[in-house]
Chain A
Amino acid sequence: MTTDPTRDGTPVPLLQVDDLAIEFATPDGVVRAVDGLSYSVSAGRTLAIVGESGSGKSVSSLAVMGLLQQPPARIVRGSIRFGGTELLSLGQKAHRAVCGENIAMVFQDALAALNPVHTVGWQLTEALRARHGMSRRDATARAVELLDLVKVPNAKQRVKEYPHQFSGGMRQRVMIAMALSMDPEVLIADEPTTALDVTVQAQIMRLLSEIQAERQMGLILITHDMGVVANVADDVTVMYAGRAVEQASVFDIYAAPAHPYTRALLGSIPRLDQKGGGLAVIPGRPPDPTQVPAGCAFHPRCAFAEDVCRADPPPPTVSLPFDRTSACHFAEEVMNHDEH
């Protein structure tokens, strides 16, 4: 597996997802949860995937990890490559073997994601013992190291404890330590700070970006918090109704969003530097996945929508300057639209 960083200036992508489409068979018909998603992560870079719940951001990362339940899920087309290996053609067993070892995942809600009946130390090193045949004693030492790494105080004692004896923030640290146990090159963090209070959220995010910088990992951060994105991400993929509606560097996307949805998302962040009354909200709700509107899926909620948006779906990627894309008929207009 390649970890080649920048030899000629351009980073080699570690993980590359291309034109991924995933469907779910439901009693109400087939639902397209992800449609034509592409992204890539390189060593040392952070990609934020942003979107509302149901936008397909978690489903796509489960597909990367080989954790989709098939059926009901079905990968219709696309490719997921890790360091040149096509994961989708590997078969479930080999696919999962890559995961954990090379790609690891931090799940949201650590209380549910940790097994309540095994000690934290046991779970931290489970993969090392089961897959690498590490001895029990070495594993305990390694578990203590891992807890130290994520700054859980008193690690020696705490490896013997169970998840329910940890606070929410400490549990999430355990989740992170567990994902790091096999020294992965890519880490997927699926809303790692939901259900935590704000100060703890900040600590966890700082810890994640420190570890990422230190190990030069590729980090995929799945979130709906645009504030977090601004702090840690290098690149941003905004998803809406299963599609990547905008992809750009974090600087460009905050400076001039090129999709009305991104624009609306940014508009709904509370800001300290602006006095104002209520927060801006995006009118309407995300579409019912069984009944995605015709044309552009966002048009019923879009301030820029015109007749063409109701009739024709926008091109999946409108290329814009600075290597950014937007799936909008009026991408350039939106980008150049002056609001403030």
Chain B
Amino acid sequence: MGRYITRRVLQGFLTLFLVMFLLHLLTTLAIQLNGNPAQAFFGDRTPSPSQLAAVETRYGLDDPCYDQLGNPCIGPFVERLGDYAQGDFGESLRGRPVTDIVSTAAPNTLRLFVVVTITWLAIGMTLGGIAARRRGKASDHGIRGLSILIDALPIFVLLLVYKYIFSVPLSRWAKDTFGSDSLPALLFKPSFSPQHAWATLIVPGILLGLAGSAAFIRLVRAAQLETYNADHVRTARSKGLSERHVSRHHVVRNSAIPVVTAVGIVFTEALAGAVITEGMMNIYGMGGVLWKAVQDSDVSVVIGVVTLLAAVTVVVMLVVDVVYAALDPRIRYE
């Protein structure tokens, strides 16, 4: 088990390094093609050459390689790795440290992801489990139809409908009934409030989770159906155990393995959904920060945020792998 985890951690570092290098190559190429982003610092004004040079130096853009199309700029990359290793992630064009931006934005995105993951698992396990148990009956067909319906409703449609049709009247009603700082009023608040980060994130998180839950419903159903017919489940039944016991300890337990794997894979998709959700619900999170940084050509922020997102993804994959090993003893010693 220890060796398994060590190997996975090392693989994770390698992945992270490759992501950073690829990101570096792409941003370098973008700078070489589009011109110096230090220009963006001055907005409409035309800087004097000395001002421009000063800004370039400050943001590490003074290396001549940025003017040579096709140069991979290994020098600045090594420099940046060294800075990152010392905890220096650079500053945004407005002079705010990237670490500061990230430490404000990341918790909100992570909160969103927590709600999203719980929603996936709750909806997927419940509905998928019911559909598998009642295979071929009306509830099974209904749940499968529902999963297709969910697929047909992209996250921005769900959010638009929620925000403009449900959120305002619901929050007004909750405010009048329970008071403006009560939990129901915060839950249905149409936009994010940093003072009540959890409460105002729950509904958007559930909606984002709901949008991604269709795949889970179908996956859980398929995994459990397969397990219901497995020989070892028949063995368990032959011991005279109750159907509930068999279901919990043999069917759900064994079909959890593919479901956990899927969490890791779908997680990366949720990152894309988070950009939209954060934008529409005014959540100050990683998606919004990244979106704005790309628009502003804010190289340090883009690289810092994407690196962090890549690191989070690598960590999630690692956790999934470890959970996978814990769930299935057969892979521990491979």
**A104-B254 CB under 8 A given contacts A112-B230, A116-B328:** no
As a 0/1 sequence over residues 219 to 247 of chain B, the CB contacts with chain A under 8 angstroms (1 = contact) are 00000000000111011111111110100
- Taking the closest CB of chain A, its distance from the CB of B218, in whole angstroms, is 23
Interface size on B, residues (CB 8 A): 23
A131 in contact with B241 (CB, 8 Å): yes
Chain B residues with CB under 8 Å of A117's CB are 253-254, 257, 327-329
A130 in contact with B231 (CB, 8 Å): no
9-residue interface stretch from A9-17, A91-99, A139-147, A321-329: A91-99
Chain B residues with CB under 8 Å of A105's CB are 238
- Taking the closest CB of chain B, its distance from the CB of A80, in whole angstroms, is 15
Nearest neighbor of A100 in chain B, beta-carbon distance: B240
What is the predominant secondary structure among interface residues of chain B facing chain A? helix
A107 in contact with B329 (CB, 8 Å): no
Nearest neighbor of A104 in chain B, beta-carbon distance: B238
- Taking the closest CB of chain B, its distance from the CB of A87, in whole angstroms, is 12
The docked-state distance in angstroms from the alpha carbon of A116 to that of B236 is 12
A101 within 8 A of B: yes
B234 in contact with A162 (CB, 8 Å): no
As a 0/1 sequence over residues 292 to 334 of chain B, the CB contacts with chain A under 8 angstroms (1 = contact) are 0000000000000000000000000000000000011110000
B330 in contact with A126 (CB, 8 Å): no
Nearest neighbor of A114 in chain B, beta-carbon distance: B232
B241 in contact with A65 (CB, 8 Å): no
B250 within 8 A of A: yes
- Interface hub of A101, A104, A107, A117 (most chain B Cβ within 10 A): A117
What is the predominant secondary structure among interface residues of chain A facing chain B? helix
The contact of B240 among A115, A118, A131, by CB within 8 Å, is A131
The docked-state distance in angstroms from the alpha carbon of A99 to that of B238 is 6
As a 0/1 sequence over residues 172 to 213 of chain A, the CB contacts with chain B under 8 angstroms (1 = contact) are 000100100110000000000000000000000000000000
10 extra interchain contacts, Cβ-Cβ under 8 A, other than A93-B242, A104-B238? A93-B243, A96-B237, A113-B232, A115-B232, A115-B250, A117-B254, A117-B329, A126-B249, A131-B240, A181-B239
* 27 pairs, A vs B, C-beta closer than 8 Å: A67-B238, A96-B237, A96-B240, A97-B240, A98-B240, A99-B240, A100-B239, A100-B240, A104-B238, A107-B235, A109-B231, A112-B231, A113-B234, A113-B235, A114-B235, A115-B235, A115-B250, A116-B254, A116-B329, A116-B330, A117-B328, A126-B249, A127-B239, A127-B240, A131-B240, A164-B329, A181-B239
Residues of B within 8 A of A (CB): 230-232, 234-243, 245, 249-250, 253-254, 257, 327-330
Residues of A within 8 A of B (CB): 65, 67, 93, 96-101, 104-105, 107, 109, 112-118, 126-127, 130-131, 162, 164, 175, 178, 181-182
